[in-house]
Amino acid sequence: MKSEQQAKAAAWAWKRVGVWAVTALLVLSARAGTQEQRPALTDQEKQIAATMGTLRKLPEGERAKKTKELALEIRDLRTSGSPHKVQLALGLAGLSTEGDPGHETLQEVATTLADALREQPQTGRNGKPAFAYMELANLTEYEHVSADLDDPQYAAARALVEEEQSKRMEADFTLKDVRGKAWTLKDLKGQVVLVNFWATWCPPCRSEMPDLDALYQKFKKQGFVVLAISDEPESKVRPFIEQEGFHYSILLDPEGKVHKEFFVEGIPRSFVYNREGKLAAQAIDMRTKRQFLEMLKEAGLQ
């Protein structure tokens, strides 16, 4: 039986739609004895998936260029020759939001995912839109790109994203940090607050933490507060923080109640509240220092 940490890591891999999860999904679907069995990956699909597997190793500028090229390659796949077009587009979408590829690249990724869904509509479960439509809705909402897709599932996904947005506007919580101090979000009115959801096992979370710590130390005298929330046990969180030496507040949400209140599934996620306590900016994935600065600027901190 999988441990709790292994289960969460597997869930993270799916929610972030990493290329390994996507490739595994494609291979399994090709082998599965389902009623609608998918054929094996084509040579072109294999090449695209292999290239996607190298993205995280590339320097930022080169990664953005390659991501855009992959988006165009996936878009050019013919439906008849690529039964996995949606899965490839979805995998690229998940990878594209890690870091700062630029608006033009993200627009190409969103256009490709919308194009794939138009050609190969997906089926949701339990009356909810399929995950690919939710991913597209998140891209358009949080990365400020557009998507031309006339589909009831996409419309439903957009409505769900907007509903979550309105609820986050009124969110509040009280949690203790690893030192035992209690923090209440609403009590921090008058300061700029960045709420960050993370975990020790999450690579993109760990990647953004040094930049987040540097910004905290730069702006803390101006009333900047970082509340980084993990749903892991203190026994896992405390040693990691002590080893890394981060200075901002690390809060514990062992039952995941605040994660649910903020509708957090994939991590990292960041939410910035201005001095009036209003939600000013948010991010659905890892951010660079420049991107964090842009978010803080939206809250009046620069």
Residue 172 has pLDDT above 50, yes or no: yes
For every residue of 135-147, DSSP letters joined together read HHHHHHHHS----
Q: What is the pLDDT of residue 79?
A: 62
Angle between helices 289-298 and 203-219 (to 10 degrees): 50
In which band, very low, low, confident or very high, does the pLDDT at 34 lie, cut at 50, 70 and 90?
Answer: very low
Q: What is the pLDDT of residue 28?
A: 39
Q: What is the pLDDT of residue 37?
A: 55
Q: What is the pLDDT of residue 12?
A: 43
Averaged pLDDT of the chain: 88
Q: What is the pLDDT of residue 80?
A: 56
Count the neighbouring beta carbons within 10 Å of the beta carbon of residue 222: 12
Residue 272 has pLDDT above 60, yes or no: yes
Q: What is the pLDDT of residue 184?
A: 98
pLDDT tens digits, one per residue of 57-113? 999 889 999 999 999 999 998 765 678 999 999 999 999 999 899 999 999 999 999
pLDDT tens digits, one per residue of 217-226? 999 999 999 9
Q: What is the pLDDT of residue 259?
A: 96
CA distance 217 to 248: 8
In which band, very low, low, confident or very high, does the pLDDT at 1 lie, cut at 50, 70 and 90?
Answer: very low
Domains in the chain, ordered, with CATH?
4-166 (no CATH), 174-298 (3.40.30.10)
Which range among 42-56, 173-187, 195-209 shows the weakest confidence by mean pLDDT?
Answer: 42-56
pLDDT tens digits, one per residue of 211-252? 999 999 999 999 999 999 999 999 999 999 999 999 999 999
Backbone torsions φ then ψ of 221, nearest 5 degrees: -70, -15
Residue 7 has pLDDT above 60, yes or no: no
Q: What is the pLDDT of residue 81?
A: 61
Beta pairing, strands 224-230 & 192-197? parallel
Residue 26 has pLDDT above 60, yes or no: no
CA distance 231 to 150: 38
Nearest residue to 108 via CA among 124, 96, 125: 96
Beta pairing, strands 249-252 & 224-230? parallel
In which band, very low, low, confident or very high, does the pLDDT at 32 lie, cut at 50, 70 and 90?
Answer: very low
Which range among 42-56, 105-119, 194-208, 286-300 shows the weakest confidence by mean pLDDT?
Answer: 42-56
Q: What is the pLDDT of residue 41?
A: 83
Contact assessment for residue 110 and residue 137, using Cβ atoms and an 8 Å cutoff: no
Backbone torsions φ then ψ of 235, nearest 5 degrees: -65, -20
Q: What is the pLDDT of residue 31?
A: 38
Residue tagged 């500028």 (tokens): 61
Q: What is the pLDDT of residue 274?
A: 96
pTM of the model: 0.82
